[in-house]
Amino acid sequence: GPSEEKLKNLREFLKTAGLSLGGGDKPQASDYAEVMDKIKSRPDAPMLQTMLLRSMQQAVYSPDNIGHFGLAYEAYAHFTSPIRRYPDLLVHRSIKAILAHTKYRPAFIQGTELNTQISPKARRMQAADAEKRAENVAARAKRDEGVWDELGLHCSANERRADEASR
């Protein structure tokens, strides 16, 4: 869902448009859907939709299945555009292993060796992602997912770099 700051900004913006977002401190996808339904016939709908979308956090590749906030799915696999083939490859290899009743274990990648050519903005976002993950290192170590964290950081940073390059 949205960060506290983005949620505050969104609520202030919606108020100026005569709208409100339900859900209190933790709005759900259904709260966003309710606003979307209310605005669909308004002439300012495209701008309002953009503001709703921008209030949400950018997706981050992670071994933790947290679903998809915007789609309100509890489980979600992300298949990307051709510019982002590596995440797709990891998903396909994992699914193949699941179907074979095995576990896919990708090779370990040192995070410091990854993404040496990313922008300062993407680097800050990557650092914030790493900081969030560091809070759960002990739990993840027990589940043999450290390599997936590194791959998630790698893929997220590369996706952000590709997004920045396309602007």
- Structure tokens given for 133: 């993950």
83 Cβ partners below 8 Å, 6+ apart? 162
Extract the residue ranges of the chain whose pLDDT is less than 70.
Answer: 59, 61, 78-85, 107-123, 126, 130-145, 167
pLDDT of residue 133: 65
| pTM of the entire predicted model | 0.49
pLDDT of residue 45: 92
Read off the pLDDT of residues 5-29 as tens digits, 9 standing for 90 and up: 999 999 999 999 999 999 998 998 8
